Structure 1
């Protein structure tokens, strides 16, 4: 018995998932190439998504994700509850520091940014809302990896510790010790490990049951800010968000 091919819904998602933070605008040819769908099929699906408002056509004929998809994304319980709890604290940090303030969650073997505040004069960074960060070399990633357990650590090591800059830790034992330090002091400090010229401090966000549900970070231009001077405000914000999510103060180290 032959295996049935992908259904219409699956193919529609293939088209939507062809878009990414790095490729926000795609032509029909781009979509055909990235999905592997026949041109006629991709064209038909694109027009269906246009009619539903899930895609929008730009003046140059290319396509972007439509507002209706964004509106649906805001309804996701995991993201909505976390963002609602975190936004006031992120706004306060942003107003006080005038730097990038980011919130990320664990998804598979990467961190995904679900919110970010940025000042016009802040360092230009590659990360965007919906974008992904490596667990072994970013501030948010190290916080999440440090609390993810030995299995996640081994999976990350087995996938290979990519060197993004000369400062990236690529030795598993050095990384293991670094993550132990993150757990013991309660925050991560990363200096130019993912991007040259970018440093960050990140703290865990706990939910009910003492589970780490996210990480909160501040990203600055290297050498412009004393990272240790940022950490108390960031730790306080992380604890505030955690309390709003049901964490009990003093119930974790």
Structure 2
């Protein structure tokens, strides 16, 4: 029998997930509406999180992320063993390809940037560690979808449709891309996530065959010709195998 989970703890993290660069502050009313709870429950969650330093009240009724979250984020960046393991590999491949490279992990909200290496170009594309990529418009997200169990994939895509991020017609196109990614061993995007930015992503599997990370190279979409994409995918696949061999089992 599975161990029951703590629903209040899950709800607290759902509340924290409401914060973003686009929405740095939330109110009890916004929490109540987004998480479908009463205003009194939303207020209780916020003052409890404030007590432990997870959020801070910046003006009457409005909260932002607190010092405790910032501290944990810095610790995670410095100590994440997978980030430490993958950093020298993606730095080397970035130098070889002359494109920026990143590693990502799946979360409930999308693919989070775990580590990044910036291309040695006079003008290059960058992404911050901790930045979230949406599943349906990123090369890495498409790969994660491609390797999910059908029920989980359908649920994820259903959520995107329900929240208005894509239409049912978009979902049909996405499913074709996902099938292609699974067959080809890599996924692409060309300006879907950010205008004029292209990317190629490959999977990193562990010893048991589970998907642990994704690696992608990204840059100006105009450079991502068919030949360049093929070359990038092959080089990333070699790097992915190197990372896979080094992942602790």
Q: Residues 193-247 of structure 1, C-alpha deviation per residue, up to 9 Å, x if partnerless?
A: 2222111000001113110112111111111242222222111111111111158
Name the CA shift for 1:111/1:63 in 2 (closer, same or farther; >3 Å).
Answer: closer
Q: Residues 25-70 of structure 1, C-alpha deviation per residue, up to 9 Å, x if partnerless?
A: 55xxx556655688x98997687556xxx67999xxx966535222
Q: Which residue of 1 aligns with 2:3?
A: none
Inter-partner Cα distance in structure 2 for 1:12 and 1:109: 15
Inter-partner Cα distance in structure 2 for 1:194 and 1:133: 8
TM norm structure 2: 0.69
Where 1:170 maps in the other structure, the secondary structure is helix
Where 1:122 maps in the other structure, the secondary structure is coil
Alignment of 1:68 with 2:71, yes or no, is yes
**Structure 1 unaligned runs (5+)?**
1-5, 248-253
Judging by fraction of residues, say which structure has more helix: 2
* Deviation of 1:139 (Å): 0.4
**Structure 2 unaligned runs (5+)?**
1-6, 33-38
Q: Which residue of 1 aligns with 2:185?
A: 186
Q: Residues 54-99 of structure 1, C-alpha deviation per residue, up to 9 Å, x if partnerless?
A: 67999xxx966535222443488xxx23212211111112333443
* Deviation of 1:153 (Å): 2.4
Name the CA shift for 1:47/1:55 in 2 (closer, same or farther; >3 Å).
Answer: closer
CA RMSD of aligned residues (A): 3.8
1:97-246 matched pairs, under 5 angstroms? 97-108=97-108, 110-119=110-119, 121-123=123-125, 128-161=128-161, 170-172=170-172, 174-225=173-224, 226-245=228-247
TM norm structure 1: 0.68
Tell whether the 8 Å contact from 1:198 to 1:220 is kept in structure 2 after alignment.
Answer: yes
Q: Which residue of 2 aligns with 1:251?
A: none
Tell whether the 8 Å contact from 2:205 to 2:244 is kept in structure 1 after alignment.
Answer: yes
Inter-partner Cα distance in structure 2 for 1:160 and 1:90: 30
1:30-109 matched pairs, under 5 angstroms? 30=26, 35=31, 48=51, 65-66=66-67, 67-74=70-77, 80-108=80-108
* Deviation of 1:154 (Å): 1.5
Paired residues, number: 222
